[in-house]
Amino acid sequence: MLTVSAANWTPYDWVSKAAGSVGLRLTEAFTAFAAAVNANPGNAGVPLQLVKDHSSATGTTNFGYIWRLGHPLNPYLLRFYNTSRNQGSSASSSTASFTLALESAYTDDGTFGGYGQFSSMLASVSAGMSYYGPSGSPLFNADGRLIVLMDTTPGSEFFCCNIATTNGDTYAQNHTLMLFRGSASSGWNVALLRSQALAGMFESRNFYCYNNNVLQAAVTYPVAPSGLEQMLVTGVGLIPSGFGPGQMFAYGTKQERLPLPQLFWFGSNQYSDPRRLGRVSNPGGPGTFYQLGAAINSGGMDCWVLVPPSTPAMAGWSTIGSLSSWQTIPDRLYFCPAVPPGPVLMGPVLGPDFLTDWSAVALGAPGVAQHPFYAQQEAAGDNGRPSSGVLWPRGM
């Protein structure tokens, strides 16, 4: 079942442990999702579990969560917490931390404000995620929101949480996080869009996916249009890139893309204003598009969601449309559904591209001869030459 839920606070205070505070509402949503999908067929080997939340904080600085993402062989942990109450407005003043690591590398020893430590990490991201709240320095009160989208339908499971401000401040600890299953992976995939300390603004280079215990940089996103219009597409499939700690593929092998849930739409921003709370009716049918994040400049990546009509919220939550700060964006938006791309034949990141994405051995004539396209031509017989109208002897 798909639910899209929202809550807002005036002011927003990430470090609060009070009942109904943003951190504990996020825990409420995640535990509800975990309970539902853990009971789904086929998920016995990939259970989700809450390890830490705001109630685990032992000091006055670090507040956040640790989620266990099950895997048949190598479960891993996702940890997020703020590192100070200094409020920043740039990537260099980041005061929050997002980490992925294998569960086997974790020690729950009470360090880091009660959230424990890792002997090694698969990914650690901090740039562009800064604390904000009424107790920060400099003092800046901001209204904020939490949007949670989840689908517990077997085979379509995903969880997305979006933390952002509603009044356009530049002191932000904003991120959009997606957990999703897919036939191309044996565990949970994580996609993170993080801000550059600007509320709800996401850069394409800050879009990561984590698949089968290997961190990958997502190298596929919609190409920016040439004018001031904006094209958004769905059916985006992430490509394992081979960067990061280890590789999950060998060159010359075909790799399935990781299709993101069809609910999400992405596009390269061509606007100068951030439109942190954009909304527009679906021009191609029922439903409403809501903007989870706007790119910081041209070439960055916006994130929108298409919410079907009458989509319910979780019990005790508000619907996404009830937030009062949405701004209708009626023009210059083009929504172009796309079929999720097929497998990719993996090749070198840099190098000859005259034959698409071929392996590192595809250098020179011997490499070309190994390419499947060439092999298909050879299989056609007679070197693929026409039977008539030629200007040279056949058989050469």
257 and 355 inside one domain = no
* Of 323, 328, 327, 326, nearest in space to 146 by CA: 323
Task: Tell me if 389 is assigned to some domain.
Answer: no
H helix or E strand, kind and range, residue 4: strand 2-9
d(CA 68, CA 71): 9
Q: 358 and 233 in one domain?
A: no
Number of Cβ atoms within 10 Å of the Cβ of 33: 23
Q: Are residues 42 and 185 in the same domain?
A: yes
* CA–CA distance, 136 with 134 (Å, rounded to integer): 6
Is the domain of 164 the same as that of 121?
Answer: yes
Domain that includes residue 29, residue range = 2-345
Q: Point out the residues of the chain with pLDDT beneath 50.
A: 197, 199, 219-221, 224, 242-248, 272, 349-364, 394, 396
User: Judging by DSSP bridges, how do beta strands 230-233 and 333-336 pair with one another?
Assistant: parallel
Q: Do residue 375 and residue 250 come from a single domain?
A: no
Same domain, 114 and 64: yes
**Same domain as 226, residue 276:** yes
Please, are residues 209 and 190 in contact by the beta-carbon 8 Å criterion? Answer: yes
Does 209 share its domain with 73?
A: yes
pTM for the model stands at: 0.82
Residue 285 lies in a domain: yes
**How does pLDDT run across 218-246, given as a tens digit for each residue?**
544 455 455 556 777 887 777 655 443 34
Residues 88 and 232 occupy one common structural domain:
yes
pLDDT of residue 119: 94
The pLDDT score that the predictor gives to residue 129 is 79
